[in-house]
Amino acid sequence: MKRISLTRLFQCPALLPWRIAPGLAFLLLPFLQPLQAQKTWDFMLAPYLWFAGIEGDVSTVPGLPVAPIEVSPGEALEDTEVSLMLVFVANRGRHGISADFFYSDVQSDEELAPQLGLVLKSTSKSTVGSLCYQYNLIEGELQLFAGLRYWNIDTELSFSGGAGFLDGQQVRHSEDWIDPVFGVRGRHDFGESRFFVSGILAGGGSVFGSDYFYDLSGTVGYRWTPAIATTFGYRLYDLKYEEDEFFYDVRQAGWLVALLWNF
């Protein structure tokens, strides 16, 4: 089945999340009405760092096999050019909204054929934005969420060395699309202790977007004050997307640390 490319549907793909957000927020308004008059809004803002390695296969020159890319979490500290990550959550009673933004620019060098001296330099830029409605099954402890996730993947491959026609070749491809996303978020506080654990399980995909993706994370946190906490844990996401001659099957995983501000 021919998939629909959002690049053809929207003139400016970089603005796509902002075009979608108002409409989705409007659809969610009926669900965000307070169940009780005394309920007030609670907000949480969390910038975080994710020291993620990247491993998988991406498209190369049309007609040739895909090329592997691999950056370990340790190498990611050196290879990451730019990284920006932020989570925002707003709750009122049992209803709320959540937004997650992630951008990374990772570069790596891979020796494809040591005997020939063929080297592949890969650059992978990822922009991921999610906007979801969430429902508190157990207020403050267990939430279900559903919404949309926007992806923009920009890959560039540069070949050097070797004696074949690949020497000096450059391949660049950019794709963007939207997937439905569903998941569950949980948190457990250990009695009067300031320690807590939290985790997120999410996934999605569609015939108009990625074949599939899943996103898992688990953290241990400590509350310094009622408003400020820090967390440390591990996050993994796996994404497979194929459109025409573009193939992107990549897993990113690594440790994360976050600062939580509740207000």
For domain 6-31+40-262, the CATH architecture is Beta Barrel (2.40)
pLDDT-derived band at 56 (thresholds 50, 70, 90) equals: confident
3-state SS, residue 63: coil
Which pLDDT does position 108 carry in this prediction? Answer: 67
Pick the residue with more confidence: 14 or 244? 244
Q: Span 240-245, mean pLDDT? A: 84
Task: Compute the distance between CA of residue 108 and CA of residue 139 in angstroms, rounded to an integer.
Answer: 43
Locate the domains of the chain by residue range. 6-31+40-262
Which pLDDT does position 46 carry in this prediction? Answer: 96
191 Cβ contact partners less than 8 Å away, ≥ 6 residues apart: none
Percentage above 70 pLDDT, the chain: 68
Percentage above 90 pLDDT, the chain: 42
Which pLDDT does position 252 carry in this prediction? Answer: 87
Residue 10 has pLDDT above 70, yes or no: no
For 11-55, write each residue's pLDDT tens digit: 444 444 445 555 555 555 555 554 444 478 999 999 998 887 778
Pick the residue with more confidence: 150 or 166? 150
Pick the residue with more confidence: 138 or 7? 138
Q: How far is residue 201 CA from its own chain's centroid? A: 12
Which pLDDT does position 216 carry in this prediction? Answer: 96
237 Cβ contact partners less than 8 Å away, ≥ 6 residues apart: 213, 214, 215, 216, 251, 252, 253
Q: What is the mean pLDDT of the chain?
A: 79
Residue 6 has pLDDT above 70, yes or no: no
For residue 25, the surrounding DSSP H or E stretch is helix 16-28
Residue 260 has pLDDT above 90, yes or no: yes
Alpha helices, DSSP H, located in the chain: 6-9, 16-28, 73-79
Q: Which residue has the tokens 């998939």?
A: 3
**Do residues 252 and 217 touch, judged by C-beta distance below 8 A?**
no
Which pLDDT does position 206 carry in this prediction? Answer: 87
For 202-214, write each residue's pLDDT tens digit: 999 988 889 999 9
Which pLDDT does position 97 carry in this prediction? Answer: 95
Give this prediction's pTM: 0.73
CA torsion, ordered 258, 215, 149, 135, to nearest 10 deg: -80
**Do residues 54 and 70 touch, judged by C-beta distance below 8 A?**
yes
